[in-house]
Every structure is written in C-alpha cells, then in structure tokens.
Amino acid sequence: MKTLKVPEATITRLSVYSRFLEYLDQRGIVTVSSGEIAQGVGVSPAQVRKDLAYFGEFGTRGVGYNVKDLMRYVLKVLGLDELWPLVLVGAGNLGFALCTYKGFNDRGFSIVGVFDNNPDKIGKKIADLEVYHLDRMAEIIALHNVKVGIITVPSHAAQEVTDLMVKNGLQAILNYAPVVLNAPENIEIRNVDMSTRLEILTFNLSKKDYNPVT
C-alpha cells in the first residue's frame, strides 16, 4: 500500500474548505481568516492552519487569506484545475444516479463512457450518454485519455471489471461494490460505502455505555 505524505483526512478537509471558499467567492467576499473557515465548516482553527501548512505559508497575519487565491490553490492541490474524464461500469440505479449527479461536473469530473454487459441496457441513454458493451471500454479510454474508473456493478462482478480496467490502463478506481478488490500496487483504489456516514449518525444517536470488555 502506498504511503502518502499528506493524510487522507487532510485531503478530505481540503475538499470541504474549497467548497466553502467557492461559497464565499460567489458572495464577493475577498478575505477570510482561519477562524472563519473553521467556523464555516465545523473544525477547529488550529486544524485549518495545520491542513493548509502542508502546502506552504498562506495568508497575512492579522488580515487572513485572500479567498480567490486560496481557493485556486486548494483546487490545484486537489488536482481540480484540470478536467478528469471518467468511465463508469454498471448502468444500474447507482450508476444512473452518478451519471446524472451535477456535483461531478462542478468539480471538473465528466463521465465520458458508461458500460454494462446486460443486452437490455446496452444502447439505452443515460443523460447524454449511450450505454456501451464492455467491449468498447478500451476504445473510449484511449479516445478521451481516461485515467479513472467508477465501479457500480454487483459485488460478484466487481473483480472482473477491475481486472478489465487495469488491463485497459486505468490508474485509479472508485469502487461502490461492497467487496475488497485486488489490483496491482500502483493502482489507486478507494471504496465507497453508502452506509458509513449513516453509521456515524447511529453511533451518535445510540450513545450506549461502552463497558470495557475485560
């Protein structure tokens, strides 16, 4: 497993900060302090300063950060100053929802190919995209220089799709199937579990007594 210099929790927060900065920028706000960012997104000011310090010295003491500069820099750090074409395999409900999710386009992501192996789905339209057979994945990946794939197939098919994505040169995979995928070390894989965020809520609601098991 690759080790990152910057913790993933920091990258996740940068993503949140960048949205808050966009929000401020749209409202014509020019400068912001770490305390205001902290309050806006619900973390401590020290955490904001620590996260931003990974990427150098920002801001002017007593004045704060320039909103536009910081926003552009954070987006650049996140790799969002370029466009990311994506392919998605699995034209089911979740695949459909992701293909029509407006939040992707806002962040520079664009699904350029949707694939399935179900003859009933091939040729159907999702938004502006025609669902193709998996046979055409190599062609679409080459055409658009795609590096990232999304898997929304059932668990039993996910490894096969992973192998195909790796064979076709993808470098990163976002996996929505609830299964652990095997891939070469140089392929970045992240799993998305739709229920994890719910479990944080139920943890907080249930607030049982955690009797030490001894």
Q: State in angstroms the smallest separation of the CB of 12 from a copy of itself.
A: 6
Task: Identify residues 116-155 at the interface with a copy of itself (CB under 8 A).
Answer: 147-148
* H or E element at residue 97: helix 93-99
Residue with tokens 């949140």: 16
Helices (H), 107-211: 137-144, 155-167, 196-206
Packing angle of the helix pair 8-26, 34-41 (nearest 10 deg): 100
Instruction: Judge whether 182 is annotated as a binding position.
Output: no
Nearer to a copy of itself, 6 or 142 (CB): 6
Instruction: Judge whether 91 is annotated as a binding position.
Output: yes
Instruction: Judge whether 175 is annotated as a binding position.
Output: no
CB under 8 Å, gap of 24 or more: what pairs does 186-192 form? 188/2, 189/162
93 belongs to the binding site for a copy of itself (CB under 8 A): yes
From 26-34, 138-146, 161-169, 205-213, span contacting a copy of itself (CB under 8 A):
205-213
Question: Is the Cα dihedral 45, 48, 51, 54 positive or negative?
Answer: negative
Q: State in angstroms the smallest separation of the CB of 78 from a copy of itself.
A: 5
Q: State in angstroms the smallest separation of the CB of 37 from a copy of itself.
A: 13
208 belongs to the binding site for a copy of itself (CB under 8 A): yes
Instruction: Judge whether 183 is annotated as a binding position.
Output: no
Mark the binding-site residues for NAD(+), compressed into ranges: 90-95
